Amino acid sequence: MNVLTFMLTILSMNNANRYINKSILGIFAHPDDETSSAGCTFTKFAQMGASVNVITATRGELGTLGTGDLSVSREELPAVRESELTQVLSLFGANPPILLDYKDQEVESQKMEVISEKLRNHINHIEPDVVITFGPQGISRHPDHIAIHRCALDAFNAYAQGINKKVSLLYVAIPELAAKEFDLDIDGPETQPNVFVPTQEYIDVKIKALRTYQSQEDAQEFAEWLENSSDYYETFKIVGVEEGTVITFEQLLEDC
Ligand SMILES: [Zn+2]
């Protein structure tokens, strides 16, 4: 090993351990929400040692029944989507999925306090430094996304009050112009990101993850869009900081 290779090895080892004691938790409604929202972010920080977990409320039972050569029955779909989610999280270097076992389109009709309590139990066990979830409009205004936002917010607030470390809550956010391009009917915090994660190094993983969701048309369409896009960031709104402040994701993981 020459000196340069040695130095690079040490550097990459340091990077691989940089966030070894840090934990990131995503809370979403359906398999594939995590990939569209934060696939590169999860991959990046898992590679730097952070423990990444994703809680998913449903198995997306009402999704599309296959794309390309894949055709699945409605009965098979939940197991297919769970398997896709498991493969994707492993691709990111995240832990296996945590499923809440609700049914697609039925999250909203459940007792919110019961969902919040389940989330609280997982959060207390995981002790995340950063939680990523949907904002109040759920990006697509899907009722499951909005219900998950409310319950995650509740659970996060209870957790933040009782823990003696810096913890941050991030909403998936899309700049106004991009939201228009995707025909999303959102405004407010979800169109005002203040955390921008450059994705260039990790975009191939995100595209591969979206392609892994072979049962889902939306995921394939987004993969195709990303394959043709040159300037793409994953963007989030950190709640509770002064207007106009831009923060790096790394700052959220640094001890103050
Ligand atoms: Zn969804």
pLDDT tens-digit series, residues 7-54: 666 666 668 899 999 999 999 999 999 999 999 999 999 999 999 999
Residues written for the chain: 256
Pairing assessment for the beta strands 233-238 and 195-198 based on DSSP bridges: antiparallel
Output the CA 124–ligand 1 centroid distance in Å: 24
DSSP H or E segment with residue 40 = helix 33-47
Strand partners, 235: 196
47-83 tens-digit pLDDT: 999 999 999 999 999 999 999 999 999 999 999 999 9
What pTM value is reported for the model? 0.94
> Kind and range of the H or E element at 227?
helix 217-227
Report how far ligand 1's centroid is from the alpha carbon of 145 (Å): 6
Question: Comparing C-alpha atoms, which of 132, 214, 232, 222 is closest to residue 172?
Answer: 132
- Under a CB-based contact definition with an 8 Å cutoff, are residues 174 and 193 in contact? yes
Model pLDDT for residues 170-181, shown as the tens digit of each residue:
999 999 988 998
Query: 231 CA distance to ligand 1 centroid (A)?
Result: 24
CA neighbor of 135 nearest in space, from 177, 187, 195, 58: 187
Q: What's the CATH number of domain 21-253, 3.30.450.20, 3.40.50.10320, 3.40.50.1220, 3.40.50.720? A: 3.40.50.10320
